[in-house]
Structure 1
Amino acid sequence: MKKFLLLILTLLMSMSIFAAEAPDLFVRKIADEVFEILKTDKDLKAGNKEKAYKITEEKILPYFDFDRISKLVLGKAWPAATKDEQEAFKKEFRTMLVKTYGSALLKFKDQTLNYKPTRFQPSDEEVLVKTEILKSGAPPLPIDYMLEKDGDSWKVFDIIIEGVSLVTNFRGQFGNEIKQNGIASLISKLAEKNADSDKAKSNK
């Protein structure tokens, strides 16, 4: 009887693992949806930044693990920060990424996305999904996604563009500011940069 119950338990666990969405299909689903919007949305084709920001906020960033990304980016400064500072940093950092990636969406014209084979085991908690953006007359632009298991789906916790990690890049930038002036100064500068971006947009 015990062996039978153990067999049933093992089977159920295996079924739950394989029921999880495959990481490469997860990336493909999101990317295909965004690329379809880029191809058909008239506002984006006209250079509407507000629309680009909205798409980034609604179609891309919900699949990012901002808690983990923020911790990785700040490194040792994260546990040293107060709860209010942590929340303020996440807010300004997220806003900055919305504006950065939203503006990048407007540069997409006739590009296509190529998905490379993904090697992973059903039990893997973290997986690297490799893609590349293709454009006629230009070399492929490699963009890789580091994913972590999130229930039956996945979350992005790092993006690697042409071999450069988003987390590592920002950790270096922010680390210098924190070391010289403290995390409060970093948060203030991020907020100022985000505000300047809004002013520049309103003046156009």
Structure 2
Amino acid sequence: MKLRKTISTICYGVMLLITMSPVVRAAETPGTLVMETIDRGLVVLKDPSLKGREKSDERRQRLWKEISPIFNFEEMSKRALGQHWKKRSPEEKKEFVELFTNILKDAYIGKTDTYSGEKIVFVKEKQDEKDYASVQTKIITNTGAVVLVEYRMLSNAGKWKIYDVIIEGVSLVNNYRSQFSNILMKSPYEELVQKIKGKTGKEKT
């Protein structure tokens, strides 16, 4: 099972989180936080000093620095590992969060290179419960295709962060949980860790 393999719409949606044009500026809300992150990503993408293939690595690192704070990687890791999370020691949990964060970084940050001016339409922001919210958007590509993207957020100590991205009804976190579960049905947890390390270049020598 290839750990980086997800459907193309998920990759596309995460890329658009960084690159889509901002349309909403309001008080401090989950939607505003998403749009402010987009603003900072656009500043990086439009920076003339970061243009060109030779600046690709620097551009991606700068983008990651701008967008990573809005993600709750621990919550995403917990949900991706599912029922197996509870069985892990504190040290194993810490390691898994780091590895899963690297998976997301390696798999998606490169998608920003394909941005070509797609448009975003803010649909709505909804707070289902005190600590949960969603920011729904509609992306219109250059060919006129419409992609529905929802950012699910969780408030921790008053700070809203993304814990999942839903593209056309498909969950990024659930996609990975399915992959991890398939591996853990046949192999011990240690083998899953080794597979992830191999895919992210974190294999110890």
Q: TM-score range by the shorter chain?
A: 0.7 to 0.9
Q: Paired residue for 1:15?
A: none
Query: How many residues are treated as equivalent by the alignment?
Result: 176
In the TM superposition, what are the counterparts of 1:1-204 in structure 2 within 5 Å? 21-46=28-53, 48-120=55-127, 124-195=130-201
Structure 1 residue 65, shift from structure 2 partner: 1.2
Percent of residue pairs identical: 25
Provide the C-alpha distance between the structure 2 equivalents of 1:96 and 1:194, rounded to a whole number of angstroms: 6
Structure 1 residue 144, shift from structure 2 partner: 1.0
Alignment RMSD, CA only? Answer: 2.2
Structure 1 residue 41, shift from structure 2 partner: 4.6
Structure with a larger share of its residues in helix: 1
Structure 1 residue 47, shift from structure 2 partner: 6.9
One-letter amino acid of the structure 1 residue matched with residue 41 of structure 2: V
Question: TM-score with structure 2 length normalisation?
Answer: 0.76
Q: 1:125 to 1:98 in 2, by over 3 A?
A: same
Question: TM-score with structure 1 length normalisation?
Answer: 0.76
Structure 1 residue 195, shift from structure 2 partner: 1.6
Give the unaligned 5+ runs of structure 1. 1-19, 197-204
Provide the C-alpha distance between the structure 1 equivalents of 2:171 and 2:114, rounded to a whole number of angstroms: 21
Q: Contact 1:148–1:157 (CA<8 Å) still a contact in 2?
A: yes
Provide the C-alpha distance between the structure 2 equivalents of 1:156 and 1:128, rounded to a whole number of angstroms: 9
Structure 1 residue 48, shift from structure 2 partner: 4.1
Q: Which runs of 4+ in 1 moved over 6 A?
A: none
Provide the C-alpha distance between the structure 1 equivalents of 2:62 and 2:119, rounded to a whole number of angstroms: 18
Larger Rg: 1
